[in-house]
Amino acid sequence: VQQLVDSGGETVQPGESLRLSCVVVGDTITGYCMAWFRQVPGKEREAVASIFSRGGSIDYSDFVRGRFTIGQDASKTLFLQMNRLKPEDTAMYYCAAKARSYSGSCAYKASDFEHWGRGTQVTVSS
């Protein structure tokens, strides 16, 4: 991975949906743990969802399980489909990657990830 380019954030109303994307620039052959984190000012960056790039091993934080879906499309772009958005989902969202050759849970803490996007702002407000 040379670069992660995340996008898709905008201002929406409660209950609406949004899809974030993260384009991986560089090597996509090597296995990677891919994840979405979010952060609000004054708080630590928290994990939202993670996935292993070669399939399987998807994890969600309790506060998004059932509403958000993480995945990769045919071009290896990482996405985060966010449904039934709530005001408390307002945050800067970052995609992250960590090289790893074996499958299994990718639910690492933020400091374990090697590559980061610049972030995309999601605001949920009426």
Residue-level pLDDT, tens digit, the chain, 126 residues: 779 999 999 999 999 999 999 998 887 666 889 999 999 999 999 999 999 988 778 999 999 999 999 999 877 789 999 999 999 999 999 999 998 888 889 999 999 999 999 999 999 999
Q: Tell me what pLDDT residue 82 has.
A: 98
What is the Cα–Cα distance from 12 to 16, expressed in whole angstroms? Answer: 6
pLDDT of residue 101: 84
Q: Which of 111, 45, 113 is nearest to 78 (CA)?
A: 113
